[in-house]
Protein backbone atom coordinates (compact mmCIF):
# COMPACT_ATOMS: atom_id res chain seq x y z
CA UNK A 1 0.00 0.00 0.00
CA UNK A 2 2.90 2.35 0.74
CA UNK A 3 4.18 2.03 -2.84
CA UNK A 4 0.70 2.87 -4.17
CA UNK A 5 0.52 5.98 -1.96
CA UNK A 6 3.99 7.05 -3.09
CA UNK A 7 3.11 6.70 -6.80
CA UNK A 8 -0.18 8.58 -6.38
CA UNK A 9 1.54 11.35 -4.39
CA UNK A 10 4.17 11.76 -7.12
CA UNK A 11 1.61 11.76 -9.95
CA UNK A 12 0.95 15.51 -9.88
CA UNK A 13 -2.84 15.11 -10.06
CA UNK A 14 -4.75 18.15 -8.84
CA UNK A 15 -8.48 18.23 -9.64
CA UNK A 16 -9.25 15.21 -11.83
CA UNK A 17 -7.86 11.72 -12.26
CA UNK A 18 -8.24 9.28 -15.13
CA UNK A 19 -8.13 5.70 -13.97
CA UNK A 20 -7.50 2.97 -16.55
CA UNK A 21 -8.31 -0.71 -16.07
CA UNK A 22 -7.09 -3.34 -18.48
CA UNK A 23 -5.68 -6.86 -18.64
CA UNK A 24 -2.62 -8.20 -20.40
CA UNK A 25 -1.18 -11.63 -20.89
CA UNK A 26 1.98 -13.21 -22.22
CA UNK A 27 3.54 -16.65 -22.46
CA UNK A 28 6.26 -18.12 -20.25
CA UNK A 29 7.08 -21.20 -22.27
CA UNK A 30 3.77 -23.04 -22.37
CA UNK A 31 2.33 -21.18 -19.37
CA UNK A 32 -0.12 -18.29 -19.75
CA UNK A 33 0.51 -15.32 -17.45
CA UNK A 34 -2.63 -13.17 -17.15
CA UNK A 35 -2.57 -9.95 -15.12
CA UNK A 36 -5.32 -7.40 -14.39
CA UNK A 37 -4.08 -3.81 -13.89
CA UNK A 38 -5.50 -0.60 -12.47
CA UNK A 39 -3.47 2.57 -12.81
CA UNK A 40 -3.54 6.33 -13.23
CA UNK A 41 -2.81 8.55 -16.20
CA UNK A 42 -0.31 11.29 -15.44
CA UNK A 43 -1.09 14.82 -16.69
CA UNK A 44 1.16 14.11 -19.72
CA UNK A 45 -0.89 11.01 -20.63
CA UNK A 46 1.60 8.39 -19.41
CA UNK A 47 0.12 5.45 -17.51
CA UNK A 48 1.47 4.35 -14.11
CA UNK A 49 0.28 1.08 -12.50
CA UNK A 50 -1.14 1.33 -8.97
CA UNK A 51 -2.56 -2.13 -8.18
CA UNK A 52 -2.65 -5.38 -10.11
CA UNK A 53 -3.79 -8.96 -9.73
CA UNK A 54 -2.47 -12.10 -11.47
CA UNK A 55 -5.43 -14.18 -12.65
CA UNK A 56 -5.06 -17.93 -12.22
CA UNK A 57 -6.78 -18.60 -15.52
CA UNK A 58 -6.88 -17.69 -19.19
CA UNK A 59 -9.23 -15.12 -20.64
CA UNK A 60 -11.32 -12.26 -19.30
CA UNK A 61 -11.60 -11.09 -15.73
CA UNK A 62 -14.85 -11.58 -13.83
CA UNK A 63 -16.90 -8.82 -12.22
CA UNK A 64 -15.91 -10.10 -8.77
CA UNK A 65 -12.20 -10.01 -9.65
CA UNK A 66 -12.59 -6.42 -10.88
CA UNK A 67 -14.46 -5.41 -7.73
CA UNK A 68 -11.78 -6.94 -5.50
CA UNK A 69 -8.98 -5.11 -7.31
CA UNK A 70 -10.92 -1.84 -7.31
CA UNK A 71 -11.38 -2.27 -3.56
CA UNK A 72 -7.60 -2.38 -3.17
CA UNK A 73 -7.28 0.79 -5.24
CA UNK A 74 -9.90 2.57 -3.14
CA UNK A 75 -7.92 1.86 0.04
CA UNK A 76 -4.83 3.42 -1.54
CA UNK A 77 -6.88 6.31 -2.92
CA UNK A 78 -8.55 7.25 0.38
CA UNK A 79 -6.14 10.12 1.26
CA UNK A 80 -6.75 11.63 -2.21
CA UNK A 81 -10.51 11.14 -2.28
CA UNK A 82 -11.30 14.79 -3.09
CA UNK A 83 -10.25 14.30 -6.73
CA UNK A 84 -12.86 13.34 -9.32
CA UNK A 85 -12.17 9.94 -10.92
CA UNK A 86 -13.12 8.89 -14.44
CA UNK A 87 -12.59 5.20 -15.25
CA UNK A 88 -11.54 4.31 -18.81
CA UNK A 89 -11.77 0.73 -20.05
CA UNK A 90 -12.18 -1.42 -23.13
CA UNK A 91 -14.83 -3.95 -24.20
CA UNK A 92 -13.92 -6.61 -21.65
CA UNK A 93 -15.09 -4.40 -18.80
CA UNK A 94 -18.83 -4.28 -19.37
CA UNK A 95 -21.93 -5.50 -17.58
CA UNK A 96 -24.86 -3.92 -15.76
CA UNK A 97 -23.54 -4.98 -12.35
CA UNK A 98 -20.08 -3.56 -13.10
CA UNK A 99 -21.49 -0.22 -14.32
CA UNK A 100 -23.66 -0.01 -11.20
CA UNK A 101 -20.63 -0.73 -8.99
CA UNK A 102 -18.59 2.10 -10.55
CA UNK A 103 -21.41 4.62 -10.14
CA UNK A 104 -22.02 3.48 -6.56
CA UNK A 105 -18.31 4.18 -5.90
CA UNK A 106 -18.87 7.72 -7.17
CA UNK A 107 -16.75 7.19 -10.30
CA UNK A 108 -17.54 8.48 -13.76
CA UNK A 109 -16.59 6.20 -16.61
CA UNK A 110 -16.13 5.87 -20.36
CA UNK A 111 -16.16 2.23 -21.48
CA UNK A 112 -16.06 0.88 -25.00
CA UNK A 113 -18.81 -1.54 -26.10
CA UNK A 114 -19.15 -4.09 -28.83
CA UNK A 115 -21.46 -2.99 -31.64
CA UNK A 116 -24.42 -5.11 -30.53
CA UNK A 117 -24.13 -4.41 -26.77
CA UNK A 118 -27.31 -2.75 -25.41
CA UNK A 119 -28.58 -2.12 -28.92
CA UNK A 120 -32.05 -3.22 -27.77
CA UNK A 121 -32.06 -0.49 -25.11
CA UNK A 122 -30.94 2.05 -27.71
CA UNK A 123 -33.74 0.93 -30.05
CA UNK A 124 -36.31 1.36 -27.28
CA UNK A 125 -34.87 4.80 -26.45
CA UNK A 126 -35.29 6.10 -30.01
CA UNK A 127 -38.54 4.17 -30.51
CA UNK A 128 -37.36 2.02 -33.39
CA UNK A 129 -36.88 -1.68 -33.97
CA UNK A 130 -33.41 -3.15 -33.51
CA UNK A 131 -33.22 -3.84 -37.25
CA UNK A 132 -33.97 -0.21 -38.11
CA UNK A 133 -31.72 1.18 -35.38
CA UNK A 134 -28.55 0.11 -37.15
CA UNK A 135 -29.53 1.98 -40.31
CA UNK A 136 -30.55 5.02 -38.27
CA UNK A 137 -27.14 5.08 -36.56
CA UNK A 138 -25.35 4.94 -39.92
CA UNK A 139 -27.40 7.84 -41.29
CA UNK A 140 -26.61 9.97 -38.21
CA UNK A 141 -22.92 9.17 -38.56
CA UNK A 142 -22.95 10.38 -42.17
CA UNK A 143 -24.90 13.51 -41.24
CA UNK A 144 -23.42 14.50 -37.86
CA UNK A 145 -20.23 12.47 -37.53
CA UNK A 146 -21.58 10.71 -34.43
CA UNK A 147 -24.73 9.15 -32.96
CA UNK A 148 -25.90 9.68 -29.38
CA UNK A 149 -28.77 8.27 -27.30
CA UNK A 150 -29.67 7.95 -23.62
CA UNK A 151 -30.33 4.53 -22.09
CA UNK A 152 -31.14 3.38 -18.56
CA UNK A 153 -29.43 0.43 -16.84
CA UNK A 154 -30.27 -0.57 -13.25
CA UNK A 155 -31.60 2.88 -12.41
CA UNK A 156 -28.73 4.92 -13.87
CA UNK A 157 -28.97 6.92 -17.08
CA UNK A 158 -26.05 6.61 -19.48
CA UNK A 159 -25.02 8.14 -22.80
CA UNK A 160 -24.56 5.67 -25.65
CA UNK A 161 -22.43 7.24 -28.35
CA UNK A 162 -21.10 5.91 -31.67
CA UNK A 163 -18.22 7.29 -33.73
CA UNK A 164 -16.77 6.06 -37.02
CA UNK A 165 -13.54 4.14 -36.46
CA UNK A 166 -11.34 6.33 -38.64
CA UNK A 167 -8.25 4.27 -37.85
CA UNK A 168 -9.94 0.97 -38.68
CA UNK A 169 -8.11 -1.60 -40.73
CA UNK A 170 -9.41 -4.72 -42.41
CA UNK A 171 -10.80 -7.06 -39.77
CA UNK A 172 -11.27 -4.34 -37.11
CA UNK A 173 -14.47 -2.71 -35.90
CA UNK A 174 -16.22 -0.29 -38.22
CA UNK A 175 -17.44 1.84 -35.29
CA UNK A 176 -16.24 2.94 -31.86
CA UNK A 177 -19.18 2.52 -29.46
CA UNK A 178 -18.83 4.11 -26.02
CA UNK A 179 -20.97 4.17 -22.88
CA UNK A 180 -20.61 6.88 -20.24
CA UNK A 181 -22.41 8.72 -17.48
CA UNK A 182 -21.18 11.94 -19.12
CA UNK A 183 -23.53 13.72 -21.54
CA UNK A 184 -21.17 15.51 -23.94
CA UNK A 185 -20.17 13.32 -26.90
CA UNK A 186 -16.98 15.31 -27.59
CA UNK A 187 -15.79 14.96 -23.97
CA UNK A 188 -16.59 11.24 -24.00
CA UNK A 189 -14.50 10.76 -27.14
CA UNK A 190 -11.64 12.88 -25.79
CA UNK A 191 -11.59 10.93 -22.51
CA UNK A 192 -11.57 7.52 -24.17
CA UNK A 193 -8.59 8.42 -26.36
CA UNK A 194 -6.54 8.89 -23.18
CA UNK A 195 -6.87 5.14 -22.51
CA UNK A 196 -4.11 4.52 -25.04
CA UNK A 197 -1.57 5.25 -22.29
CA UNK A 198 -2.02 1.77 -20.83
CA UNK A 199 -1.38 0.16 -24.23
CA UNK A 200 1.94 2.02 -24.37
CA UNK A 201 2.72 0.75 -20.85
CA UNK A 202 2.04 -2.85 -21.93
CA UNK A 203 4.23 -2.38 -25.01
CA UNK A 204 7.11 -1.10 -22.90
CA UNK A 205 6.70 -3.94 -20.39
CA UNK A 206 6.78 -6.57 -23.12
CA UNK A 207 8.53 -6.33 -26.47
CA UNK A 208 9.69 -2.70 -26.52
CA UNK A 209 11.42 -2.31 -23.17
CA UNK A 210 11.48 -4.58 -20.15
CA UNK A 211 10.84 -7.82 -22.10
CA UNK A 212 8.82 -9.25 -19.22
CA UNK A 213 8.90 -12.81 -20.51
CA UNK A 214 12.69 -12.85 -20.34
CA UNK A 215 12.66 -11.12 -16.96
CA UNK A 216 10.27 -13.73 -15.53
CA UNK A 217 12.74 -16.38 -16.71
CA UNK A 218 15.50 -14.46 -14.92
CA UNK A 219 13.35 -14.13 -11.78
CA UNK A 220 12.79 -17.90 -11.75
CA UNK A 221 16.54 -18.45 -12.15
CA UNK A 222 17.24 -16.16 -9.19
CA UNK A 223 14.60 -17.97 -7.14
CA UNK A 224 16.24 -21.30 -8.02
CA UNK A 225 19.67 -20.02 -6.96
CA UNK A 226 18.23 -18.62 -3.70
CA UNK A 227 16.56 -21.98 -3.04
CA UNK A 228 19.86 -23.84 -3.49
CA UNK A 229 21.62 -21.31 -1.23
CA UNK A 230 19.00 -21.96 1.44
CA UNK A 231 19.44 -25.72 1.18
CA UNK A 232 23.22 -25.45 1.33
CA UNK A 233 23.02 -23.15 4.34
CA UNK A 234 20.60 -25.59 5.97
CA UNK A 235 23.15 -28.39 5.50
CA UNK A 236 25.85 -26.21 7.04
CA UNK A 237 23.68 -25.41 10.07
CA UNK A 238 22.65 -29.04 10.44
CA UNK A 239 26.34 -29.99 10.47
CA UNK A 240 26.88 -27.65 13.40
CA UNK A 241 23.76 -28.67 15.32
CA UNK A 242 21.69 -31.61 14.07
CA UNK A 243 18.00 -30.92 13.58
CA UNK A 244 15.82 -32.55 16.21
CA UNK A 245 13.47 -35.28 14.98
CA UNK A 246 9.75 -35.39 15.69
CA UNK A 247 7.22 -38.15 15.42
CA UNK A 248 4.83 -37.72 12.49
CA UNK A 249 2.26 -40.52 12.63
CA UNK A 250 4.19 -43.64 11.66
CA UNK A 251 7.58 -42.05 10.98
CA UNK A 252 10.17 -39.66 12.35
CA UNK A 253 11.17 -36.55 10.40
CA UNK A 254 13.03 -33.31 10.90
CA UNK A 255 11.19 -30.76 13.05
CA UNK A 256 12.16 -28.14 10.47
CA UNK A 257 13.11 -28.66 6.83
CA UNK A 258 16.63 -27.99 5.58
CA UNK A 259 15.23 -25.25 3.35
CA UNK A 260 13.39 -23.46 6.15
CA UNK A 261 16.36 -23.72 8.51
CA UNK A 262 18.73 -22.29 5.92
CA UNK A 263 16.28 -19.70 4.57
CA UNK A 264 15.40 -18.26 7.99
CA UNK A 265 19.08 -18.06 8.90
CA UNK A 266 19.96 -16.29 5.64
CA UNK A 267 17.24 -13.68 6.19
CA UNK A 268 18.75 -12.84 9.58
CA UNK A 269 22.34 -13.01 8.34
CA UNK A 270 22.37 -11.23 4.95
CA UNK A 271 21.61 -7.51 5.11
CA UNK A 272 24.00 -5.92 2.59
CA UNK A 273 25.80 -7.07 -0.55
CA UNK A 274 29.07 -7.70 1.33
CA UNK A 275 27.21 -10.16 3.59
CA UNK A 276 26.06 -12.10 0.52
CA UNK A 277 29.58 -12.12 -0.95
CA UNK A 278 30.96 -13.44 2.33
CA UNK A 279 28.34 -16.21 2.35
CA UNK A 280 29.22 -17.20 -1.24
CA UNK A 281 32.92 -17.42 -0.30
CA UNK A 282 31.94 -19.62 2.64
CA UNK A 283 29.92 -21.91 0.35
CA UNK A 284 32.86 -22.19 -2.08
CA UNK A 285 35.22 -22.97 0.80
CA UNK A 286 32.91 -25.81 1.86
CA UNK A 287 32.75 -27.22 -1.66
CA UNK A 288 33.51 -30.69 -0.27
CA UNK A 289 29.75 -31.06 0.30
CA UNK A 290 28.43 -33.78 -1.94
CA UNK A 291 25.53 -32.48 -4.14
CA UNK A 292 23.71 -35.73 -3.39
CA UNK A 293 23.31 -34.51 0.18
CA UNK A 294 20.74 -32.02 -1.16
CA UNK A 295 18.36 -34.87 -2.00
CA UNK A 296 15.68 -35.21 0.69
CA UNK A 297 15.66 -38.59 2.40
CA UNK A 298 12.53 -40.38 3.53
CA UNK A 299 13.01 -38.66 6.89
CA UNK A 300 12.68 -35.19 5.40
CA UNK A 301 9.63 -33.01 5.73
CA UNK A 302 8.21 -32.88 2.18
- Write the pLDDT tens digit of every residue in 250-268: 777 777 787 888 888 888 8
User: In this predicted structure, what is the pLDDT of residue 28?
Assistant: 66
At residue 109, φ and ψ (nearest 5 deg) are -155, 155
User: Where exactly does CATH 3.30.420 map onto the chain?
Assistant: 1-90
Residue 110 in this model has a pLDDT that exceeds 70? yes
Give the pLDDT band of residue 283 (cuts 50, 70, 90): low
Q: Outline where the chain has alpha helix (H).
A: 2-10, 63-77, 96-104, 119-125, 130-144, 185-193, 196-205, 212-240, 258-269, 273-285
Residue 132 in this model has a pLDDT that exceeds 80? yes
CB < 8 Å & 24+ apart, contacts of 27-36: 27/213, 28/213, 28/216, 28/217, 32/58, 33/216, 34/58, 34/59, 36/61, 36/65, 36/66, 36/69
d(CA 112, CA 21): 12
Residue 47 in this model has a pLDDT that exceeds 60? yes
Give the pLDDT band of residue 297 (cuts 50, 70, 90): very low
1-90 carries CATH number 3.30.420: yes
Percent of the chain with pLDDT over 90: 44
User: In this predicted structure, what is the pLDDT of residue 296?
Assistant: 38
User: In this predicted structure, what is the pLDDT of residue 175?
Assistant: 92
- Mean of per-residue pLDDT scores for the chain: 83
Amino acid sequence: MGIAWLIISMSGLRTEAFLVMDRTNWKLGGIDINVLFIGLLLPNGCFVPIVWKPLAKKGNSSTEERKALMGRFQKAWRPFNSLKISVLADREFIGAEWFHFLRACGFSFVIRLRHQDYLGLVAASIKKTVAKTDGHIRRRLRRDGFFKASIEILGYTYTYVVFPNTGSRKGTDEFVVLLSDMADAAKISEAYRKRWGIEVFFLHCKTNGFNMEEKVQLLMALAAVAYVFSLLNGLIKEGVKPIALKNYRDKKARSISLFRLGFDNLKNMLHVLTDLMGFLLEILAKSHYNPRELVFSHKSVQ
